[in-house]
């Protein structure tokens, strides 16, 4: 038994090697912020504006939330952990000060990132060999699961607030005069009512791919 066994059990690390457990934990610590940085870089590359601001709800509104919590503790917790994003990474135009785009990281989004990273980190020197196909399947599943949790605000099409990132992407096409057409607008009108279920499908498929890739290992 190693001293890390309690922590390793929580993270799903079943290796008897303490060194391997520490190695996986170290990978995990870098993997989560690495995934977020990758998301920001890809978003900035597609939209064409680099991020220049990061906002934390708790930090920016600590005085208000402290007073609010004393009066309505349950409503405050709901406001912080359900209704509002924990933090936002965005590109802002300075004059006038308006947001061009922003990735909104809600509690659910953060939890999904942690779960996906914990599952992916088991690919580091697994106890049983994993074929390249199954490894790719697990990584694809993690991508789908994370994608299902991302919310993007885009000023050109989403003035009401952030939407699921795939929804925002389609809205950007619809509102762009160079890419929009009657057929695309009609398609959006039909698909719009199914976006919640499509988002759930992404999450379910992501989980299925991850667990299939991790569990169907070569004997």
> Residue 50 contacts by C-beta under 8 Å, 6 or more apart in sequence?
44, 91
Range of the domain at 45: 5-214
Q: What percent of the chain has pLDDT over 70?
A: 86
Helix, strand and coil percent figures for the chain, each rounded to 5:
65, 10, 25
Instruction: Give yes or no for a contact between 162 and 168, defined as CB atoms under 8 angstroms apart.
Output: yes
pTM (two decimals): 0.82
Total domains in the chain come to 1
Distance from the Cα of residue 147 to its chain's centroid: 6
Query: Is 116 part of a structural domain of the chain?
Result: yes
Q: Does residue 219 lie in a domain region?
A: no
pLDDT of residue 99: 87
Residues 15-34 have pLDDT tens digits of 455 676 777 788 888 999 99
pLDDT in tens, 132-158: 888 899 999 999 999 999 999 998 887
What's the confidence (pLDDT) of residue 17? Answer: 58
Answer yes or no: is 60 within a domain: yes
Q: What is the pLDDT of residues 45-104, one digit of tens each?
A: 999 899 999 999 888 888 888 888 888 889 888 888 888 999 999 999 876 678 899 999
For residues 96-109, b (16+ Cβ closer than 10 Å) or e, as one string?
eeebbbbbbbbeeb
DSSP 149: T
What SS3 class is residue 151?
Answer: strand
When comparing pLDDT for 124 and 106, which is higher? 106
In a domain, 61, yes or no: yes
């Amino acid at each position: 038994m190693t001293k890390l066994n309690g922590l390793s059990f929580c993270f799903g690390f079943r290796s008897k090697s303490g060194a391997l457990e520490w190695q996986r934990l170290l990978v995990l610590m870098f993997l989560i912020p690495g995934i977020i940085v990758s998301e920001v870089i890809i978003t900035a590359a597609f939209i064409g504006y680099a991020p220049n601001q990061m906002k934390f709800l708790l930090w920016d509104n600590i005085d208000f939330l402290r007073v609010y919590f004393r009066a309505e503790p349950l409503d405050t917790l709901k406001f912080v952990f359900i209704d509002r994003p924990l933090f936002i990474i965005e590109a802002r135009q300075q004059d006038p000060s308006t947001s061009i785009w922003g990735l909104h990281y809600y509690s659910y989004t953060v939890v999904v990132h942690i779960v996906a990273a914990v599952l992916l980190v088991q690919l580091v020197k697994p106890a049983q060999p994993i074929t390249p196909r199954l490894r790719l399947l697990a990584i694809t599943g993690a991508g789908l699961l994370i994608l299902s949790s991302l919310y993007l605000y885009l000023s050109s099409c989403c003035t009401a607030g952030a939407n699921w990132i795939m929804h925002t992407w389609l809205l950007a096409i619809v509102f762009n005069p160079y890419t929009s057409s009657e057929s695309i607008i009609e398609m959006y009108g039909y698909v719009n009512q199914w976006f919640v279920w499509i988002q759930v499908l992404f999450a379910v498929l992501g989980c299925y791919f991850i667990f299939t890739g991790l569990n169907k290992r070569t004997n």
